[in-house]
Amino acid sequence: MLRVGLTGGIGSGKSTVSALLGEHGAVVIDYDILAREVVEPGSPVIAAIAARFGADMIASDGSLDRTALGALVFAEPSALLALNAITHPAIGELATARERVADPGAIVVHDNPLLVEMGLAAHCDVVIVVDVPEAVQVNRLMVSRGMSEDDARARIATQASRQERTGAADLLIDNTGPLDELSPIVGGIWDELVSRSAEAGG
Ligand code: ADP
């Protein structure tokens, strides 16, 4: 198994790259999905969130009130750290369980916006970073997710810096260009992963 870490700042195009790698045959573990799974109603994680941040973080149907929690943690760095301390270990356990059921010869992509922040880069055989300048991130978040410029910059500020992230990269994807240039770049990256996987003995 080749364990690949894929990361990128919010709006960099990481999810787009992840989907392309999936089309090539990678087994993709999407940490955004895992992050939702760990807070399902009745889960130990949602109970811990209510204990730490208050019962009003939980909606009447038992689901997480993401808007309330988001407003709290993105305004207060120490609250975000506390939330991460609750959720990250549970997310890590789920990811390990997913990896365990993958084919031994698989190329497994850990698609994780916080790969560097969670200290998981060192656990990967190959780290791919999708990189764009901050101005491009902001612009894409405004266009694709309807964020205000201030919101986009605030979200970016909660993540590792561009330099910290690219410093962890074995393979860097520059996604500053137009979307139609991305597919051939990812094709080349896939060929590289296949050859590294073969070198590592499949
Ligand atoms: P991330 O997962 O890093 O937050 P996404 O892959 O969701 O980013 O991309 C954010 C938005 O930017 C999406 O609407 C996507 O279609 C668009 N996008 C991705 N790459 C490019 C590109 N090279 N040029 C223009 N738009 C792009």
> pTM value?
0.95
The overall average pLDDT reported for the chain is 96
Neighbouring C-beta atoms of residue 183, cutoff 10 Å: 12
Query: Which stretch of 6-15, 65-74, 121-130 has the lowest confidence by average pLDDT?
Result: 65-74
196 — pLDDT class (breaks 50, 70, 90): very high
Q: How far is the CA of 199 from the centre of ligand 1 (A)?
A: 32
Q: How far is the CA of 123 from the centre of ligand 1 (A)?
A: 26
User: Backbone phi, then psi, for 11, in 5-degree steps?
Assistant: 85, 5
Q: Which residue puts its alpha carbon closest to atom 19 of ligand 1?
A: 13
Q: Residue 201: its pLDDT value, please? A: 81
Q: Does ligand 1 come within 6 angstroms of the Cβ of 92?
A: no
Q: Residue 202: its pLDDT value, please? A: 64
Q: Does ligand 1 come within 6 angstroms of the Cβ of 10?
A: yes
Assess contact for 92 and 11: CB atoms under 8 A.
no
Residue 194 CA from chain centroid, whole number: 22
29 forms bridges with which residues in the sheet?
A: 110
Evaluated on CA atoms 61, 66, 67, 71, the torsion sign reads positive
Q: How far is the CA of 16 from the centre of ligand 1 (A)?
A: 6
Assess contact for 138 and 152: CB atoms under 8 A.
yes
166 — pLDDT class (breaks 50, 70, 90): very high
CA distance 202 to 200: 6
CA distance 173 to 18: 12
- pLDDT tens figures, 36-86: 999 999 999 999 999 999 999 999 999 999 999 999 998 899 999 999 999
What percent of the chain has pLDDT above 70? 100
- pLDDT tens figures, 81-108: 999 999 999 999 999 999 999 999 999 9
